[in-house]
Amino acid sequence: MVAISNKLALGAGCYWGTEKFIVKDFQKKFPGSVKDAKVGFMSPDPNAMANPSYRQVCSGTTGHVEVLWVELNDPSTTFEPLIRFFFQFHDPTTKDRQGNDTGSQYGSAIFCDDEAQKSIAQKVKAEVQQLMDAGKINSYAKKQVETIIVDMNPFYPAHEEHQQYLEKNPSGYCNHYYRFKEWPTSLN
């Protein structure tokens, strides 16, 4: 079995909802799977501005994506299920947009730490597209998966008030919801 890194970052729109769905909901399905998680910013461009502020990222000029940086306890058993789960709670077909949130900071992105992660992420993304083409997933706004799969770059944590935001503010803003609860079992 190929070793797989335990670190990755996921961009799925506003990072508050991404954090809630992964730290709370994913861990209900896979208890103890997440060793650590923080909201912050990462750019697909390794030469992007260092340490951008929230305001700078929200301006859409830095190229950073709002992400949840995740460290898994056992990536050999939870990385692929996490990538599948990622596609269940956001819309990967709306480029740089989730609901009312628009801009490059809200892009759908999987930042991988090694080639094994990239291979799995690409496989799952292709499967999502096949399931959409076959009519097994029809809860997204459009017909083409726009999720980017790129190498991890420097991660810049958001300020403390944004960490565990929906845990601290249960009625706070969240535009994430389940597009489908169970993964379709076949393409037939």
Catalytic residue from among 14, 58, 112, 174: 14
Alpha-carbon torsion (28, 160, 169, 104), positive or negative = negative
Angle between helices 75-88 and 115-133 (to 10 degrees): 40
Asked about 112 being catalytic, the answer comes back as no
First-to-final CA distance of the chain: 30
Residue 12's contacts (CB-CB under 8 Å, 6 or more residues apart) are 18, 21, 68, 86, 89, 90, 98, 108, 176
Per DSSP, the residues of 138-166 read --SSSSS---EEEE----EEPPGGGTTHH
Q: Give the residue numbers annotated as catalytic, written as ranges.
A: 14
